[in-house]
Amino acid sequence: MKILLSLAWRNLWRKKRRTFITVSSVMFAAILAITLMSLIHGTTDQFIDSIIRNSTGHLQIQDVLYNEEPSMDHALEYGDEVKSVIEKHYENISYTVPRIQGFCLAAKDIGTRGVVVMGIIPEMEDRMNDLSSRMIEGEMFTADDSYALVAEGVARQLGVAVGDTIVLLGQGFQGMTAAGKYEVGGIIQFTIPEQNNRMVYLTLREAQWFYAAPDRLTNLIIMVDDARDVALLAQNLQNDLDDEWYAVKTWEQLLPDEVAAFEARDAQVKLFAWILYIVVGFGIFGTIIMMLYERLREFGILLSIGLKRAQLAIICALETVFISFIGVLTGIVAGFFIVYWLYQNPIHLTGDLADIMLDFGLEPIYAFSIAPHIFIFQGMIIFIIALIVGMYPVRKVFKLDMVEAARK
């Protein structure tokens, strides 16, 4: 066996050009698979991260009726029971983001606009979605300020600027009228039109006063370090809370339509992956056939001088293993550098495609992922495909006519 290993290894470098072509076919197949799967996983992760950070968080604690009927009357009481449960599980929680929000009418002079007025703690909101970095005019408020921050689309439609005053009118807790006049202290610009055209921010303390709902929240967002812990943490929190009054919802439960879209996309990705692997397999197969017919005379001579077919088949199989391993390894290394550069420099989209992505609530970029499982899994798949395709010369050896092959 040692002799056969040595012969197989020497055969690779006896015809370096031939080996280079075969290794290159495997290497480029691995690079293609890694790059495309990195793009698919990267855009999916980007979409999920965008939803989590700009909308629901990983999970939320709400009043048991709020998800079905999101009104201020179903704001939860943020009291000792909830705080003690949060403290009990705090080692599994990265941080919490309290919010109170409701639909209101914003007005200036004769202009009106339907908006969502959200009360936030600026430090926590910044930690979740870096809200202050979106300021284009004015300055971010602190927890004790009483002015409003207005989304750029709302400011444009109402014709307001920093220093102007807007009137907010809505419904508060238990039928109370929510009304107030607020100076515009800053303007925030969002890339997603849905946010940019409807958001108005107050401090949490000011918004609770505005809605006549002291010590109440519409939702308490909980963020975790590892998304894999979300389902278990949600179950543990729900077990410790009175389910007659409180409900713990994960982002998947809060956004069932998006989850259904993800599942449909996963099916498309699997179909696309199979098509990719078939194309890759035929590409490698074409190279293997070309290399095989170059070596038929060599095989015929070896068999005619006494080499057994089984020994020649083993040598061919070992060559396939060596070539596949070298090709996949170099493909993973080269693919990593390509994907890492694209990860650091995502592709920014413009034009109609950017508008379509914005309409779906996505930032208009193609993001790439450098998750280790992409390189490992794609490398293994390409290696297996190369091995299967590389068995064709082994099969050919047992059916080869040595006299005819030696004359080629």
pLDDT, tens digit, 9 for 90 and up, residues 19-53: 788 888 888 888 988 988 888 888 888 878 888 88
Q: What are phi and psi of 165, to 5 degrees?
A: -120, 135
Of 118, 239, 136, give the one whose Cα is nearest residue 188. Answer: 136
Closest by CA to 250, choosing from 27, 45, 390, 51, is: 51
What totals of helices (H) and strands (E) does the chain contain, helices first? Answer: 15, 14
pLDDT at residue 169 in the model: 94
| CA dist., res. 248 & res. 9, Å (int) | 61
Give pLDDT, residue 282.
81
What 3-state class would DSSP assign to 265?
helix
Residue boundaries of the structural domains of the chain: 2-52+258-406, 97-215
Q: How far apart are CA 215 and CA 205, in angstroms?
A: 9
* pLDDT digits (tens), the chain, 408 positions: 677 777 677 767 777 777 788 888 888 888 988 988 888 888 888 878 888 888 888 999 999 998 888 888 899 888 888 889 998 888 888 999 999 999 999 999 888 999 999 999 999 999 998 888 899 999 999 888 889 999 999 999 999 999 999 999 999 988 888 999 999 999 999 877 888 899 999 999 999 999 999 889 999 999 998 888 888 999 999 999 888 889 999 988 888 877 777 777 777 777 877 887 888 788 777 777 777 777 777 777 766 777 677 777 777 778 788 888 888 899 999 999 999 999 988 887 777 767 766 666 667 778 888 989 989 998 898 888 888 887 877 777 776 665 565 555
Among the listed residues 369, 338, 301, 317, the one whose alpha carbon sits nearest the alpha carbon of residue 39: 369
Question: How far is Cα 53 from Cα 191, in angstroms, rounded to an integer?
Answer: 14
- 1/118 Cα distance (integer angstroms): 73
Residue type, 201: Y
Q: What is the pLDDT of residue 382?
A: 86
Is residue 102 packed enough to be buried (19+ CB in 10 Å), middle (13-18) or exposed (0-12)?
Answer: buried
Which residues of 189-223 form beta strands (DSSP E)?
Answer: 199-203, 216-217, 219-223
Q: Which DSSP category does 138 fall into?
A: E
Report whether 34 contacts 331 (CB < 8 A): yes
User: DSSP code of 220?
Assistant: E
Give pLDDT, residue 244: 86
The CB density around residue 26, as the number of other CB atoms within 10 Å, is 30
- Confirm if 164 and 184 have CB atoms less than 8 A apart: yes
Predicted pLDDT of residue 254: 86
Mean pLDDT score across all residues of the chain: 84
Burial label, 234 (beta-carbon count in 10 A; 0-12, 13-18, 19+): buried
According to DSSP, residue 364 is labeled S
CATH (residue range 97-215): 2.40.40
What is the per-residue pLDDT across 271-290, written as a single tens digit (0 to 9) for each?
Answer: 877 887 888 788 777 777 77
